Amino acid sequence: PLHSHPAGRHFLQIPGPTNVPDRILRAIDNVTIDHRGPEFGVLGKSVLGGLKKVFKTQADVVIYPSSGTGAWEAALVNTLSPGDLVLMVETGHFATLWKKLALKLGLQVEFLEGDWRHGIDPAQIEARLAADKAHQIKAVCGVHNETATGVTSNIAALRKAMDSSGHPALLMVDTISSLGSMDYRHDEWGVDVTVAGSQKGLMLPPGLSFNAISAKALAATETAALPRSYWDWKEMLAINPSGYFPYTPATNMLYGLHEALEMLFAEGLDNVFARHDRFGEATRRAVRAWGLEILCQNPSEYSSALTAVVMPDGHSADAFRKAVLQHFNMSLGQGLSKLADKVFRIGHLGDMNDLTLCGTLAGVEMGLEVAGVPHKKGGVQAAMDYLTQSSMAALARA
């Protein structure tokens, strides 16, 4: 590498894990305490309560010391039985991984084909559920923000479609790359299980995952016959109200979570979402100015957390990303499975401000030049113009 010990900070602009703020790193760097002692209960209660506000729920939230995949598994094993039919939509790589996990658990999956450029079509779900007169489908599972594509799905519309069909299936939603960066409402949108992780909008390192659980999902545990032990909600929920956990929790990560929640609430969730919306818009303006193509095809489904950019034909996205890393010490997201080498992803979520975004986009624009990717100049300028104007407009309103 050109910079084996580069000066300045590495730009971690993948769509998660995101840059961890110093405040959170300092919080994690505290002595580990007795997880059965009095001090811990205060911490446990505080983070469990704070999380509810982020999920926008009055219902229970559980915390696992695992990556997001564990919370995917927990959602399924707590609510379903072997051979149950689950309806999923191929929005991209992560929807496909969740499907594979469901199959490994012994569930049946009907996987509605997708082109990795669009979100879930609520009308298609409504029609499929309406046709399922025998109510064989036990759950509909969808990814709110497909991290592989930068395409979102409209969960409120999906809920409405499910209600119109009059079908009783559970609704499970993966918000691993949207929670804490894009508007999400577990209760209002009638979601039964929301799955999330620590390493994206919550600005923490990887290592914690979450389930928010509706009363209907909790009732489903009574008949759900898939084997479960470590992921069993009941064990968690029995002891969580006192702030404790059935097994050794990730104490230091919980210090970090406590700090992250304070930061999100101090900024205000609506301001956090608006900040990410601005980053998404600024990034898309840059991409268009470069003359490159945004992978997401429907503007109402643009992600505010990341933008996937299509490489011009005959050019390697991975060679471009490698050049960006070597020359400018920045990591961009790679294309996953079907999209390998065809797209790169700009993460614009987490602990970021206008100048972090400008630096990121400057790294992309310079990278296009050094990697010999055909493009027009002026992407960073287009982003700066938008950020400047929207910042002035916001100040004038205040």
Residues 92-111 that bind ligand PLP (CB under 6 A): 94
Burial readout 116-128 (b: 16 or more C-beta within 10 A, e: otherwise):
bbbbbbbeebbeb
Output the known binding site: 345
Decide: is 143 part of the binding site for ligand PLP (CB under 6 A).
yes
Letters for 157-186 (x = contact with ligand PLP by CB under 6 A, - = none) are: -----------------x-xx---------
Nearer to ligand PLP, 177 or 304 (CB): 177
Residue 324 to residue 211: CA distance in whole angstroms? 36
Nearer to ligand PLP, 174 or 192 (CB): 174
CB 125 → ligand PLP: shortest distance, Å?
19
Nearer to ligand PLP, 73 or 259 (CB): 73
Element (DSSP H or E) covering residue 303:
none
Q: Cis ω on the peptide bond leading into residue 122 (within 30° of 0)?
A: no
Residues 237-276 that bind ligand PLP (CB under 6 A): none
CB 16 → ligand PLP: shortest distance, Å?
6
Letters for 276-315 (x = contact with ligand PLP by CB under 6 A, - = none) are: ----------------------------------------
Element (DSSP H or E) covering residue 306:
strand 306-310
Residue carrying structure tokens 């992560």: 94
CB 146 → ligand PLP: shortest distance, Å?
6
Q: For residue 146, which amino acid is it?
A: E
CB 148 → ligand PLP: shortest distance, Å?
7
Decide: is 193 part of the binding site for ligand PLP (CB under 6 A).
no
Letters for 3-32 (x = contact with ligand PLP by CB under 6 A, - = none) are: -------------x----------------
Residue with nearest beta carbon to ligand PLP? 68
Element (DSSP H or E) covering residue 275:
helix 269-290
Residues 50-69 that bind ligand PLP (CB under 6 A): 67-69
The two tokens of residue 283 are 């990034």
Which string of DSSP letters, residue by residue, matches 45-86? HHHHHHHHHHHT-SSEEEEESS-HHHHHHHHHHTT--TT-EE
Decide: is 74 part of the binding site for ligand PLP (CB under 6 A).
no
Q: What is the phi/psi pair of residue 145, to 5°? A: -130, 105
Q: What is the dihedral of CA 260, 55, 229, 258, to 10 degrees?
A: 20
Residue 179 to residue 161: CA distance in whole angstroms? 23
Residue 189 to residue 207: CA distance in whole angstroms? 27
Output the known binding site for substrate: 345
Residues lying near ligand PLP in the complex (CB under 6 A) are found at: 16, 67-69, 94, 143, 147, 174, 176-177, 197, 206
